Amino acid sequence: MKNKLIAASILSANFACLGKEINDVLEAGVDKIHFDVMDNHYVPNLTVGPLVLKSLRKNNIKCEIDIHLMTKKIDNLIINFAKLGANSIIIHPESSKHLDRSISLIKNYGCKAGLALNPSTSLNYLDYLIHKLDLILVMSVNPGFEGQKFLNYIYKKIIQIRKIINKKKKKILLEVDGGINIDNITNIAVSGADVFIIGSTLFKSKLSYSKIIKDIRLKLSKIY
């Protein structure tokens, strides 16, 4: 239970008061914040850039922040986000012509390195990169938009990756992002996830943030 983390995806937050939203979910018990950075090229949507992170750090938001790059060109963004206070930077294999080099760049700038795998992305990338990774992010929806439904066939992928991590005996966090809610989080956890990235379930609910986090913690406590 101690190793299971909840990350809040700000893609679903109210950007008119983003700082308050982040402080509120942290106070409610979220472990870290997840930035979805989209460029309208890799995915058909446009979201936040480095200046948002700079503004949050300047305004004393010191929590752990994951930067999930869903962009066509990533190396300059890796450097910019790292310099502005990112803790982890997660990239997609399809985003880099030289993936090993990009992962090394993340590490060289002092951040944890993560690899994100879309629903149809092969696990073969892990054969060559797992020794450099701190995080593996499984997309349980096709990336680009909030509020999508969890793809049930992704359970198999989560289980497969958990077996790979355990076999390698690596300290790698397995994150899952997309369509996570109170009804499916138990199955996702049992499949092997360490980090649950939630967006719409948290920010779009009529319940309080603390109530939602409390309910999720209760669900997880029954299986660990």
Q: Which residues are catalytic?
A: 36, 177
Could you tell me where the beta strands, DSSP code E, fall in the chain? Answer: 5-9, 32-38, 65-70, 88-91, 112-117, 135-139, 173-177, 195-198
Q: Is 133 exposed, middle or buried (0-12, 13-18, 19+ CB in 10 A)?
A: buried
Q: Say if residues 209 and 28 touch (Cβ distance below 8 Å).
A: yes
DSSP for 45-88? Answer: -B---HHHHHHHHHTT--S-EEEEEESS--HHHHHHHHHTT-SE
Pair of tokens at residue 187: 């199955």
Contacts of 153 (CB under 8 A, 6+ apart): 119
